[in-house]
């Protein structure tokens, strides 16, 4: 009793979700950055000031969809959940289900993060600005 079966552990791995989001103040940065918490890790998303964001977990990947229609740019990021956090910071604001603390953060520009960017004419012609996140996600990774 008390031990989890292999199936239960596998199910737990694929049932991860985003528990909280807010801003973190990263050491050496001049402004706070958007981040999310999945399990006990904090992930910087790379969200810019004027971007909208959708995030979700798919298997062992944090999926980040950043859209900025005014600049005709949309970015998709696949962030592996097993990356080690290396950036020191402090929870700043917005986190409602996470105790305020100094934390280590997974950087959004980590070398193992996959990223696709759609901009300009491709953004306009492909109508990327009006797609929902799931449609965008399916289309962008085919390119």
10-residue stretch averages of pLDDT, the chain, 143 residues long:
44 69 93 95 95 95 96 98 96 91 95 97 96 95 90
100: its two tokens? 């305020």
Residue pair 77/120 in contact (Cβ under 8 Å)? The answer is: no
According to the model, what pLDDT value does residue 16 have? 80
**Which residues are bridge partners to 72 per DSSP?**
none
2: its two tokens? 């008390």
According to the model, what pLDDT value does residue 15 have? 55
Euclidean distance between CA atoms 68 and 49, whole angstroms:
9
Complete edge-to-edge strand list for the sheet that includes strand 61-68: 52-58, 61-68, 73-80, 114-119
Euclidean distance between CA atoms 141 and 76, whole angstroms:
8
Report if pTM > 0.85: yes
Alpha helices by DSSP H, listed for 30-132, are 120-125
Q: Is 78 exposed, middle or buried (0-12, 13-18, 19+ CB in 10 A)?
A: middle
According to the model, what pLDDT value does residue 100 have? 87
Helix, strand, coil fractions of the chain, as percent rounded to 5: 20, 40, 40
């Amino acid at each position: 009793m008390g031990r989890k079966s292999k199936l239960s552990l596998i199910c737990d791995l694929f049932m991860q979700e985003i528990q909280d989001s807010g801003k973190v103040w990263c050491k050496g940065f001049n402004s706070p950055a958007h981040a999310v918490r999945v399990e006990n890790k904090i992930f910087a998303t790379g969200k810019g000031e004027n971007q909208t964001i959708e995030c979700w977990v798919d298997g062992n990947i944090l999926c980040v969809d950043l859209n900025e229609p005014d600049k005709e740019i949309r970015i998709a990021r696949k962030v592996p959940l097993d990356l080690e956090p290396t950036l020191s910071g402090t929870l700043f604001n917005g986190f409602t289900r996470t105790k305020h603390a100094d934390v280590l953060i997974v950087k959004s520009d980590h070398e193992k993060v996959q990223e696709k960017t759609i901009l300009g004419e491709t953004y306009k012609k492909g109508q990327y600005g009006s797609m929902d996140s799931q449609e965008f996600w399916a289309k962008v990774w085919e390119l």
